Amino acid sequence: MLRPIVKHGERVLQTPALPVTQFDESLHTLVDDMLQTMYAAPGIGLAAPQLDIPLRVCVIDLTVGKRGGEVITLVNPVFVERDGMQLEEEGCLSVPGFQATVPRPSRVVVKGQDVHGHEVVVEGTGLLARALQHELDHLDGRLFLDRLRALQRDLIVKKIRKLRRVGKW
């Protein structure tokens, strides 16, 4: 089922998500809905708080569903390692229409669980490292805007406020 994606300004996007404690059918349904919503958007990653669900769950598929078997689902993920630096432009499904160059680690290792509660470890470089950091930021109540210099962030936020005032946000 497609679910609405919440946009910048919603409290759930600024609040750290809660750990998942129940690995049941509702979690499987949430992950399926997240994937459908992400592909429809289209995007390469989505975190549960973006669907107004304050749980530590995210999905990533760098192929946007074009190649099977490349979906990464992480429940209760945490960083084990982060190193290097990359500067690339990124956007966000919760901040549609805006992009900015964001500093991110060039390599990360993340440990979490799958939808059954089994431990998984994911190592990523390049775009995958960027996507992992982006989605874990969502789980920690942060947006890519929070990683920008104040002037750049303020310009984007002012534009969003203007869009909100005229009913286009």
10 labelled catalytic? no
Instruction: List CB contacts of 131: < 8 A, sequence separation 6 or more.
Output: 44, 45, 60, 62, 124
Cβ 109 vs Cβ 81: under 8 Å: yes
Write down the catalytic residue from 70, 90, 119, 135.
135
Which of the residues are catalytic?
A: 135
